[in-house]
Structure 1
Amino acid sequence: MNSSGSGEGAVFVGRFQPPHHAHVSTVLAALDAAPHVLVLLGSANLARSVKNPFTAQERHAMFAAALAQRGADLHRVTFRPLPDRFDADLWAADVRAVAAQVFGPDARVALVGFEKDASTGYLQWFPGWTRLVTPEEPGLNATDIRAALFTRQPLPGGLPGPVLDFLRQFPQGRGFPRLVREWQAVQAARAAAGPGPHRELRWLDVRGPDLTLHQRTQDIGQGLWELPGRPLVVGEGVPEGATVFDHPSRSLVVPSAAYVLRAAAPPEYPGERVAIAHALLRPRKFFEDHHVILTRMLGREED
């Protein structure tokens, strides 16, 4: 479909980590109802992790191959990466913007989803859109597939052939052992986590064109950049002037709020000086939502 003018289409948003048979069936059902389907691959700006192990390019390739195997006309399907913003309003604005670019600003657009998540509140984020309800196929979910992958258990049945082929090859990659260690560390950390609230203090330490970043050595997020910081103990007060980031999906282990001070980090929390321009161009080198924190606090987010 042209990127200008008016048209009609359906939008299917998800992380698809990995895409599976139900995702493919959903797109096929949407193609029966709409001339064109836009598939938005969420979390495209996040580093590899046990929650998001596959890049947008990898998910695109798996998904497209699985659709082709089922006879879909790929000329009627458009894939686009969608970043996590950890803000519902900004996320919905991104979805609307990409849909307008693909279908045209005056297009009739339907949001694809299962009956169980259809809600008036959800549609309020997309004024003028309708809901295209597709049949739900029980029994498969991406969380179970990832668990089997990282615990080296047999992969669930019912995976599309191209996805199964990719997953069988994925453990041969050099980054897979790190993800296995991260999986084990995340499970252990969840088991050891108390009731909360879970909070952390971070510093955005900007000096001229540079900022301070710490490179993680722990099994969770090993090698990734983070803002220097430490946990806030139960009962400890929150420093005045801190900006809070508390989206429920921001943390890999348990829901956690980050309180970020724009100030010099104490000397006991060292890091390396990195050019801000260099850091901004590398979102997938950051732990969790730290690149989003950085861009928001520096006022560098795109509208």
Structure 2
Amino acid sequence: MSTTGLFVGRFQPFHKGHLATVKFALGKVDLLVIVVGSAQKSHEPRNPFTAGERIRMVKESLDSEKEVDADRILIIPVPDVDVHSLWTRHVDMLVPKYDVVFANDPFTLMLFRERGIKTIEAPLVDRSEMRATEIRNRMITGSKWEGLVPAPVARIIKEINGVERVKAIAERSHH
């Protein structure tokens, strides 16, 4: 019997901690559905990148990893809904049937657990550094951030002038 897992995240941006979770999850399921959450959001402090940009970051990162079998991965963008308790049902409509949910966010895991769905909190590598918040802060302050993301992500962010965008959004939100 084949098993399907969901890995839910916003991936703002996709970083090496997320990559480690993908590898961890692939060790436990046959098919991994990567849910790009808050898909409708972009150009705001916590969500600077569009769903399309994030999908590219995830896909190109995974394509560049020899030990990741891309045939076992689907990437599906899922927008938010206003009612938290309905969000998991919304996910159900947009993804294939699944057996287990992986996430780094305790709130996301709680929403699925409350419905009796099996959840696994992904073991996080280097949580202090491996956080999208930290990466975005480093972009704002002009510190080194590239080492925290897979090379394809750094390339895409440069290509779309992502650092300038993150800085501009941060400045606007302080006014």
TM-score normalized by the length of structure 2: 0.83
Closer, same or farther in 2 for the Cα pair 1:67/1:91, shift >3 Å? same
Closer, same or farther in 2 for the Cα pair 1:53/1:24, shift >3 Å? same
Q: Which residue of 1 aligns with 2:120?
A: 132
Q: Which residue of 2 aligns with 1:65?
A: 60
Extract unaligned runs of 5+ from structure 2: none
Q: Which residue of 2 aligns with 1:18?
A: 13
Q: Which has the higher contact order (CA 8 A, sep 6+)?
A: 2
Q: Which structure 2 residues correspond to residues 108-147 of structure 1 after superposition, within 5 A?
A: 109-114=99-104, 117=106, 121-127=110-116, 129-138=117-126, 139-147=129-137
Q: Secondary structure at the match of 2:130?
A: coil
**How far, CA to CA, are the matches of 1:55 and 1:119 in structure 2?**
20
The percentage of aligned residue pairs carrying the same residue is 25
The number of residue pairs the alignment matches comes to 172
Measured after TM superposition, the shift of residue 77 of structure 1 is: 0.6
Q: Which residue of 2 aligns with 1:272?
A: none
Letter of the 2:40 partner, please give it. Answer: N
Measured after TM superposition, the shift of residue 14 of structure 1 is: 0.9
Letter of the 2:81 partner, please give it. Answer: R
Measured after TM superposition, the shift of residue 121 of structure 1 is: 4.3
Checking the alignment, whether the CA contact within 8 Å between 1:30 and 1:132 is kept in structure 2 is no
- CA displacement 1:134-180 (0-9 Å, x = unmatched): 3211221111211222343332523201011112223279xx46x53
2:116 maps to 1:90: no
- CA displacement 1:44-77 (0-9 Å, x = unmatched): 1124223211111111111111122222111111
Letter of the 1:147 partner, please give it. Answer: N
Checking the alignment, whether the CA contact within 8 Å between 2:57 and 2:156 is kept in structure 1 is yes
Q: Which residue of 2 aligns with 1:164?
A: 154
Letter of the 2:137 partner, please give it. Answer: A
**How far, CA to CA, are the matches of 1:120 and 1:159 in structure 2?**
24
**How far, CA to CA, are the matches of 1:26 and 1:58 in structure 2?**
20
Closer, same or farther in 2 for the Cα pair 1:134/1:50, shift >3 Å? closer
2:171 maps to 1:184: yes
Measured after TM superposition, the shift of residue 9 of structure 1 is: 0.6
Q: Secondary structure at the match of 2:44?
A: coil
Q: Could you say which structure has the larger radius of gyration?
A: 1
**How far, CA to CA, are the matches of 1:73 and 1:157 in structure 2?**
23
Q: Secondary structure at the match of 2:147?
A: coil
Closer, same or farther in 2 for the Cα pair 1:73/1:87, shift >3 Å? same
Checking the alignment, whether the CA contact within 8 Å between 1:118 and 1:131 is kept in structure 2 is no
Q: Secondary structure at the match of 1:33?
A: coil
- The CA RMSD over aligned residues, in Å, is 2.7
Checking the alignment, whether the CA contact within 8 Å between 1:92 and 1:125 is kept in structure 2 is no
Q: Which structure 2 residues correspond to residues 1-303 of structure 1 after superposition, within 5 A?
A: 8-71=3-66, 72-99=68-95, 102-103=96-97, 109-114=99-104, 117=106, 121-127=110-116, 129-138=117-126, 139-171=129-161, 176=164, 179-186=166-173, 188-189=174-175
TM-score normalized by the length of structure 1: 0.51
Extract unaligned runs of 5+ from structure 1: 1-5, 190-303
**How far, CA to CA, are the matches of 2:52 and 2:109 in structure 1?**
32
Letter of the 2:61 partner, please give it. Answer: A
Closer, same or farther in 2 for the Cα pair 1:119/1:57, shift >3 Å? closer
Q: Secondary structure at the match of 1:58?
A: helix
**How far, CA to CA, are the matches of 2:34 and 2:151 in structure 1?**
20
